[in-house]
Amino acid sequence: MTPRPVSIDMVRTLDEQKISTSIAYEAMHAGAVLVIDGAPFLDDDGRIDRELVHAHMRRCLERVPEWCLRLMASPLGVTTPAWVPDEHFEPRDHVAFEDEPVALTADTARRLTGAGGPGLPRERPLWDLRIAVLDTGEVAVGARMHHVVGDGEWGFSVIRRLTAPQPEPVLARAAVGWTSDVRAPRTAWAIPPYALRAFLARQTSLRGGWHDYWRKPFVKRVKRVASRDTASLREWWITRTGLRDRMLPPTHAAAFDVAASPAARRAARLRGTLNDLLVASALGAVDDDDRGLDMLVPVSRRRRGSGEGVRNHISMARVHVGPGTALPERVAQVRGTVRDEVRGERADTPHGRMLGYATIMSLSDEPLWFGEAKVNRVIVFPVGDPRSELSAFGVVYDGMLSVALVSRLELDVARMADSMRHDLETAAVADSARAPGRHDADPQEAA
């Protein structure tokens, strides 16, 4: 029998920051909920047909091979960790079920994505699902994935691969053992030679490789290795000083839906995109500040061709608005700042009170299907610094914009959601007599 080839995929240095400490690791858990028709996955008693779910997930995983990989640390911290096949991967271990029907609220949705619970085990592939029957008869599929696996755009590619543009009958009623065509290296000592070969393969000449290596300061490289090798000491300090409680305060969430097309038409009248309007509405949903307000807007770099196949490839544009700025001016400021970031023309702007981040991504103009179940709603929660005052993530799916907000527990996230909904829904009244149409967020500018 021909031995299976070894598979190694190096984690990029910037991505490694998301797992560099237990605090960063816990903060970077991303969550989404798919609300689907219940009937195709329910038995005669109204309970979830678990074997049918397991069978469907095994077929889906053939389209998402990245979900079968785990992290392997490089010996002595010489390089970043690597993604390798999990030799003991069992999809059943990553799928859990709720026993009783639940009502779909923002808090329920967050719980289904693991919020408030233990983090994903580092020794396994960094994802899991939690599935519950809703009191409406629908089924909620809560998905959790660590941000080191991929950014928002990559995560949306996973949702598209887990679903299909038409119903997919689930033929197998029994889940069989999982096999892989590739394997992990027998020892972590295989990682440094692989990283060196991969680096040399990217070079066009020896001289070019020499300059490419030394363009990063040697002292910085040494510090990175030292940081990896002293991780246990850093974790002791985090525990000793109680830093986790200060860096990871409790949060709560809110969520709402609005029609995407009317909101996008209002954004167009304000000379912005739907993404610009969402960010501007978030900036107006909090108490003003005489220093002004700031918000980060993720900007994808993939359109330039340099991000093909890269799991995380975004930059952050920092939007600043002055005190007392009205909605039209906020939209214009967001539009200008994002455009400058896309062009690589970052301008010096004042810094005000930082809120968090906000973005929109377009998933699909048409309905998607999870097996034979139609996906009725998609909710994606923002992931980032829990200390943020407000972060918002919007998903355009099948003509609707679903917005999820996360804020610190002491702040009124429901009031913020009402304010944002007002800004986004006002267009629905003003434009009700106009012909319908879709105007989604620019997929190249919303990450």
Whether residue 430 has pLDDT greater than 60: no
- Contact indicator for 359, 393 with CB cutoff of 8 Å: yes
CA 77 to chain CA mean position, Å: 27
How does 213-247 read in b/e, with b if 16+ C-beta sit within 10 Å? eeeeeeeeeeebeeebeeeeeeeeeeeeeeeeeeb
pLDDT score at 393: 97
What confidence score (pLDDT) does residue 346 get? 73
Sign of the four-CA dihedral 338, 343, 344, 350 = negative
Task: Establish whether domains 1-248 and 251-364+378-430 are of one fold.
Answer: yes
- Render the burial of 79-95: b for 16+ CB within 10 Å, e for the rest: bbbbbbbbeebebeebb
How does pLDDT run across 65-104, given as a tens digit for each residue?
999 999 999 999 999 999 999 999 999 999 999 989 999 9
| Global pTM value | 0.88
pLDDT confidence band for 446 (50 / 70 / 90):
very low
Mean predicted confidence (pLDDT) in 367-391:
96
Region 109-121 average pLDDT: 94
pLDDT higher than 50, residue 444: no
pLDDT at 391: 97
Query: CATH code for 251-364+378-430?
Result: 3.30.559.30
CB 425 within 8 A of CB 418: no
The confidence band for 442, taking pLDDT boundaries of 50, 70 and 90, is: very low
Domain parsing of the chain, residue ranges: 1-248, 251-364+378-430
Length of the chain (residues): 447
Maximum average pLDDT range among 147-151, 176-180, 283-287: 283-287
Terminal C-alpha separation, the chain? 45
Tell me what pLDDT residue 3 has.
81
- pLDDT tens for residues 221-272? 899 999 999 999 999 999 999 999 999 999 999 999 999 999 999 999 999 9
Closest to 173 measured CA to CA, from 4, 262, 86, 50: 50
Beta strands in 29-138 (DSSP E): 29-36, 69-72, 82-85, 95-97, 127-133
Q: Which CATH architecture has domain 1-248?
A: 2-Layer Sandwich (3.30)
What pLDDT band is residue 438 in, cutting at 50, 70 and 90? very low
* pLDDT, average across residues 273-290: 96
Confidence class of residue 196 from pLDDT cuts 50, 70 and 90? very high
Nearest to 192 by CA among 228, 239, 141: 228
Lowest mean pLDDT among 177-186, 387-396, 410-419: 177-186
